[in-house]
Structure 1
Amino acid sequence: MSTDVALPSVEKHQHHRDVTGGWLRPAVFGAMDGLVSNFALISGVVGGGAPNAIVVMTGLAGLAAGACAMAAGEYTSVTSQAELMRAEIDIEKAELRRNPEGELAELTALYEARGLDAGTAALVATQLTEQPELAWRVHVREELGVDPDDLPSPYVAAISSFIAFALGAIIPVLPFMLGVTGLVVTGLISMLGLLALGATVARLTARPWWLGAGRQLLLGGIAAAATFGIGSLVGVGLS
């Protein structure tokens, strides 16, 4: 008689995407901002009656200025956020040194609130507190909601936003660089770019592709129409 015992199969967990690396938000925002803002800028210039050469120069200037501004802004904001988090981490470390009993009680109460019974919560909190390098990390994760070993990189954010903005902003300029005049071709290409970017973002965030595509097309169209109208009014006033 066989004595083999069937072992339960090991569940294979799906690997999750990296959502804390600091690149997705600036890249998405950069690409969208580059396409929408430069399409709107070019629409305003064309609406004002500017010749093709001026439109190209304006579009390229908008690309360069916007990409640099995006990179500088992302670097500054992410650096400031990281500095703030490190300051809070230093406060947490100091509290652990100054009042270990109080921090132990705080961690115990937190685990009880998460559903552990009092004895288990106290045991877990005590064992964690006995390891100083682990203790402050646990307190930071539980109290501040951040991973101290995985803070967003300002360099990644700046480079991602710069490249993404430039790629988005070049789309509405390309037809004019190739000699096309008017907004028809640029409008069609920009609308396709808006649809593609919106759909891509929706897929990355597990949303319906048509929802992201339609939303981005609507927002970009409104921005372009508004600046075209303003450019037309200003152009008539200056002529």
Structure 2
Amino acid sequence: MIPDKPFPLSRDELLEHWQDESNSAYLYTHLAPLMRDTEARTALEKLAGDETAHARVFEHLLGSAPKLEITTRTKLLLFTARVFGPRFVLSLARLEEGREVARFLREAHAGKTSPELQRLARESAGHAQLLGRLTGTRGDPWHHNDSGGNIRNVVYGFNDGLTANFGLIAGVIGASVSREVLLLTGLSGLVASAFSMGASGYLAAQSQREVDANEINTQRAELLLWPEREQAYLETVYQEKGLTADEARVAATRLMSDPDVALRELSREKLGITDESSSPVREGLVTGVSTVFGAGIPLIPFLFGGGTTAIIESFVIAMLAHFAVGAARASFTGRGWFRSGFDMFVVGLGTAGVGYIVGYLLTGILPTG
């Protein structure tokens, strides 16, 4: 249904919604043929149709069809899907649907809503749920109170490698070393950062897995020792969720009849532990590899030349990368992308400045040979 009355949004806000919906339709349309199983392909074709219908709503409100701009991000997602397969891209698309829902929610909180906007928000939430089923991911992607999975590890690994190695390279530039020494230092920093971050990611995930396993074992013992107490706990939880006392008792009794099901439910309700456990090896690899890419950014110009030109090029691309990774972090923090990007830009600038000054000062203090 296309509404006759304008939405309580500005033209710029309507245009932003239209571009997002149109790019999503384009992405799903071109991802669908890449899916091997019929169910997933059919699901993406449905999503493409839904997004096209959403775009038409905003097109009607704008009064005419704007010029469609396929964003660089959409093009990169399609390229990644064709080269590496669509699964990772579907995870990113799920996050994008979550971002759309989050925008609808922010607008509603500000009083900028209508029945039609609420319908579009519900459908976008359904899209995120469907993509979650395709990727085996649970939860609402517009909430970011958990680890964030591989996507977040990529962002923070890249960020750590970029900032640490940028500061290191700035330091040796301040010390006026040769291009060869700079490359050796930068590559050493890259390898060290990658192993450090990868090991940290692995150990963190492994430690969390061990903690969860210990808590589940404790809960299993509680279930064996005092099942009546655990059933009473579940009944209380279900009543707090709106069931009557009788309904809660029936539901809890049914769950307690199967110890495995009861353990999973109690682990989720009491401990906040679900079946989704992170793989320590995967966490370590994702974090380590993303750190390599981040740490390699400031080194690129020095692989092809040296002197002032390479220094300027390294500074420019590193600062742009800081801004980009800051903007990407906004997906998890809920802040504006420009403010988040600018904050990281300032961090990068400060890191380079401190590194350069320290390198310059130490040159006059430490013996050189």
Do the two structures share a fold, i.e. TM-score over 0.5?
A: yes
Task: Say whether residues 1:152 and 2:278 are aligned partners.
Answer: yes
> 1:73 maps to which residue?
200
1:142-179 residue CA offsets vs partner (Å, 9 max, x unmatched)? 011121x2111111111111110000011101111211
> 2:128 maps to which residue?
15
- Return closer, same or farther for 1:112/1:34 CA change in 2, 3 Å cut-off: same
The Cα shift of 1:104 comes to 0.6
Indicate the SS of the match to 1:92. helix
| Counterpart Cα distance in 1 of 2:351 and 2:243 | 52
Task: Say whether residues 1:216 and 2:329 are aligned partners.
Answer: no
Structure 1 or 2: more helix by fraction: 2
> 2:209 maps to which residue?
82
- TM norm structure 2: 0.58
Say whether the 8 Å CA contact 1:79–1:154 is kept in structure 2: yes
Larger relative contact order (CA 8 Å, sep ≥ 6): 1
The Cα shift of 1:202 comes to 2.4
5+ residue gaps, structure 2, are: 1-121, 142-146
Task: Say whether residues 1:102 and 2:229 are aligned partners.
Answer: yes
Say whether the 8 Å CA contact 2:155–2:328 is kept in structure 1: no
Q: How does 1:26-175 map to 2 (within 5 A)?
A: 26-147=153-274, 149-175=275-301
> 1:3 maps to which residue?
none
Aligned length: 229
The Cα shift of 1:204 comes to 6.2
5+ residue gaps, structure 1, are: 1-10
Letter in 2 for 1:40: G
| Counterpart Cα distance in 1 of 2:352 and 2:346 | 10
Letter in 1 for 2:185: T
| Counterpart Cα distance in 1 of 2:269 and 2:346 | 40
Letter in 1 for 2:341: A
| Counterpart Cα distance in 1 of 2:127 and 2:251 | 28
Task: Provide the alpha-carbon RMSD of the alignment.
Answer: 2.0
1:174-213 residue CA offsets vs partner (Å, 9 max, x unmatched)? 1112113243221101011112222233246654321221
| Counterpart Cα distance in 1 of 2:152 and 2:273 | 17
Residue 176 (structure 1) aligned to one of 302, 305, 330: 302
Residue 151 (structure 2) aligned to one of 10, 20, 24: 24
> 2:365 maps to which residue?
237
Say whether the 8 Å CA contact 1:26–1:158 is kept in structure 2: no
The Cα shift of 1:72 comes to 1.0
> 2:326 maps to which residue?
198
- TM norm structure 1: 0.88
The Cα shift of 1:224 comes to 1.7
The Cα shift of 1:236 comes to 2.0
